[in-house]
Structure 1
């Protein structure tokens, strides 16, 4: 981004997608459902219109106001489109989204846990780059490098999640991971002007640990609750709700950040266009301050952004903590995640290498 057009970052998806498609074709085993539906263009359009309307309305609301006709219209249109989608999917014999899977309590609760983790993570990932680049003064490459501690924590948690789940059960590990994630977000909300990168690296590492211990077991447990032949549709539905959670998290928490930033930014004495541009982002405010020679604007923008960032992280931490309490209270009792999947008729399956009935009785070692 320091040397090329900003949109060039998206071009890396082309070779990566090609590699991923090839890997899926040649390496992944097939889990075919004979009743799998074809692509439904109408349902796809309703999904895009519904989510697009909701996200657009949420993003535009801080600037235009929640009572603005465009905001109200897009929010209402999005809600109507999503309602129409649900009604259409319920009537179809072969729906695009396998919504009946959400009736499975274990699948639903684990999917919601994973979705809310993505909601919280999106808040962290949204506020950090601007903080690292504008306030701490790093370039684009340096900003990316300084976000690696989160990946380090995630890799450690992803590697260690399976044995921990076997020892303590998925419910304890998921709720514990969410508590750790909440602690990291609340700790990050204490970031100040003079905190420096060391403090940021600390809570980023903790956030990565919490994210890994929460999302990996919840994904495994959600898919492990489904019959084998519905694993494909279940995986698609799970990824859909996760991405929706991430998109809504960016929209809602981004709107919260924008509202807090513009409310605290002091643009007194600036021409109208310059004041509007400075209110768009902390990066823009720094650029205007440099061009117009207004050093006080930099301090005001940094302070305003940190206030908004702290608010976003605090809300994210509270959301993670509430989710942890819900997981601890509502998820089924102790049981390892990802040990096996049910058969279509709820009959025999394999758990931990042993063949079991739906009631949990062992009938053999299940080995070939």
Structure 2
């Protein structure tokens, strides 16, 4: 059911059995969206209460969409205009206000789970994706500005982002590593995470208070690879449509299991550290011919997070069929899918390179649009 604003309302708690089963299987259910409208109306609190939501992720595109609803931000925009702040300071004031509020809504979950969940993510300026020092500086600034223990700072997993990830963790900042597409880069992220924790331990930080997730993107992989399979046109190629993204994510979980079975991790665990959970992102199904819950149901594994657009969340609640762990016994099949894709002519390395470049570009564009619309709102408030 939608309210007058078009936001889904929460009314049927009986429909949450699949989400309860998902949680029981070890998957933390997070919402991939945030807006002041959700906060004002109590929608987010309702999803926490009735839909097993235990975390929230944001990104520049989400904020750009949220701030297009000028009415709920008008009072704060007017105050910012009166103060004469520039547009970048205004954007940070508007977005951190929402994230701080959401952190407060999720704080009971944070307390109940010992800090494991109840987290809200905010991303560094996407224009800094290839500047490690500035990314680390912005991570510190956002950590201070929001000033909530249940915050995650999102840092893109570009090659240049890896040192910033280690640096933030070394300083005790909890990090959501985002925009991961390739298995090779994910392994580098795991190394950056371990390095950051090792440096944090050396600096005397309490490792039990430093959390991290690694956001491995799912649906975009199928979108790009299926487009290439369509061009190849062979029967083998057509038979692989919709297979790549789930196989790729399952092999990421295999890589994760290998790392947390290793001695390097065991030493950190003994010092109180907690694992960097794999987080399945981009889980909304783009192809209408496919089951709209597949990127949730086919990626159930202990100690993971699935962050969903609300449409996907509601679809899982309505007709999701949770079958327990659908990842751990599938590694051989997943390797076979990637082998068949290579044999069919799909260049995996090129696919993930394109996806990373496009991911950064899309967030940069959303940020530019956010700045532009906020500047227009400031100008209007100033009577220009």
Asked which structure has the greater CA Rg, the reply is 1
Bigger share in helix: 1
The TM-score, its normalising length taken from structure 2, stands at: 0.26
The TM-score, its normalising length taken from structure 1, stands at: 0.27
Bigger share in strand: 2
